């Protein structure tokens, strides 16, 4: 399926990014580029796992809270790869940010990582993308609008608009779509996980495989761009 494909996953060393990397490797990806910020041990552990699966991997570090450093990250990457077939903008931070008490520093951090960095990653990756795919990972906060995570919801909502504008900018060479992920992997912030599952029409959480299968569909279907696909068990309804 992904033979001869080079895939870049931002935020790829842990959680969803790691799970996707392993599934790409199991489906014969040629090269997986793992971006990380601080989780260096996790990145190298993942590289070992990918090697055992017979997949070549490259590890790159960049602090997306400093998006001006992304150009250097890609300039270094250009010396190692000549083509990126799939870019998955997965890196994100999730922190409390109410509109009535958020600090400028917090909002800047959220916007830098969750929206400005994906914009810059597409800009620089596009230089080595031909007939390629970008998948932006958003989440169900764009529909549930949690007041305590307003900054995050605003950034992830903006990602949807960015996808539409990117389609108009980079077509026909690059197809760009968004996946809105629902309850996929529980985190320390998910204090209402069980309650949210009860509110989900399918009454269950999703899996990394659900996200991977959607990416696989988008990779196979070359007439889809600018799409927003909910993989959320119906919680957005």
The answer to whether position 94 is within a domain reads yes
Nearest to 197, CA basis, from 148, 144, 145: 144
What integer pLDDT is reported at residue 155 of this predicted model?
Answer: 96
- Spatial distance between the Cα atoms of 228 and 163, rounded to a whole number of angstroms: 9
* pLDDT the model gives residue 83: 97
The answer as to whether 235 is a domain residue is no
| pLDDT score of 185 more than 90 | no
- Contact of 124 with 70, CB cutoff 8 Å: yes
pLDDT tens by residue, 37-64 = 999 999 999 999 999 999 999 999 999 9
Between these two residues, 187 and 107, which has the higher pLDDT value? Answer: 107
* Residue 234 located in a structural domain: no
For the ranges 28-32, 97-101, 186-190, the lowest mean pLDDT is seen at: 186-190
Weakest mean pLDDT among 62-66, 75-79, 144-148? 144-148
- pLDDT at position 38 is 95
Measured CA to CA, the distance from residue 15 to residue 6 in angstroms comes to 20
Per residue in 98-141, pLDDT (tens digit) is: 999 999 999 999 999 999 999 999 999 999 999 999 999 999 88
User: ω before 172 within 30° of 0 (cis)?
Assistant: yes
Task: With a cut of 90, say whether residue 187 has pLDDT above it.
Answer: no
Of 208, 211, 210, nearest to 178 by C-alpha is 211
Residue 194 located in a structural domain = yes
Angstrom distances, CA of residue 147 to CA of 95, 107, 113, 135, 178: 12, 14, 20, 27, 23
Residue 1 confidence (pLDDT) above 90:
no
The answer to whether residue 81 sits within a structural domain is: yes
Into how many domains does the chain fold? Answer: 1
Q: Which helix (H) or strand (E) holds 220?
A: helix 208-220
Average pLDDT of the chain to the nearest whole number: 95
Q: Residue 121 sits in which domain range? A: 6-229
Q: What is the CATH number of the domain that holds 89?
A: 3.40.50.720
- How far apart, in whole angstroms, are the C-alpha atoms of residue 154 and residue 204? 26
Is the pLDDT at 208 greater than 90? The verdict is yes
Q: Is the pLDDT of residue 190 over 70?
A: no
pLDDT digits over 159-181, tens only? 999 999 999 999 999 999 999 99
**Any domain includes 106:** yes
Eight-class DSSP state of 131: S
Assigned domain for 236 exists:
no
Give the pLDDT score at 195. Answer: 84
Does residue 120 belong to any structural domain of this protein?
A: yes
């Amino acid at each position: 399926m992904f033979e001869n494909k080079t895939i870049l996953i931002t935020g790829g060393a842990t959680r969803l990014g790691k799970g996707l990397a392993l599934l790409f490797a199991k489906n014969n990806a040629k090269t997986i580029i793992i971006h990380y910020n601080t989780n260096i041990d996790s990145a190298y552990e993942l590289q070992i796992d990918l090697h055992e699966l017979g997949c070549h991997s490259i590890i790159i570090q960049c602090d997306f809270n400093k998006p001006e450093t992304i150009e250097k990250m890609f300039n270094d990457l250009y010396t190692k790869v000549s083509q990126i077939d799939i870019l998955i903008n997965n890196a994100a931070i999730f922190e409390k940010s109410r509109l009535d008490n958020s600090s400028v520093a917090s909002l800047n951090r959220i916007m830098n990582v969750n929206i400005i960095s994906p914009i810059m990653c597409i800009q620089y990756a596009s230089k080595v993308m031909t007939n390629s795919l970008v998948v932006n990972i958003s989440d169900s906060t764009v529909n549930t609008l949690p007041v305590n995570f307003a900054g995050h919801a605003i950034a992830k909502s903006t990602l949807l608009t960015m996808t539409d504008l990117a389609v108009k900018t980079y077509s026909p060479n690059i197809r760009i779509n968004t996946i809105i992920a629902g309850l996929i992997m529980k985190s320390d912030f998910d204090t209402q996980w069980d309650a949210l599952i009860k509110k989900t029409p399918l009454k269950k959480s999703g899996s990394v495989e659900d996200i991977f299968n959607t990416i696989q569909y988008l990779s196979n279907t070359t007439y889809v761009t600018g799409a927003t696909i909910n993989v959320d068990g119906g919680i957005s309804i």
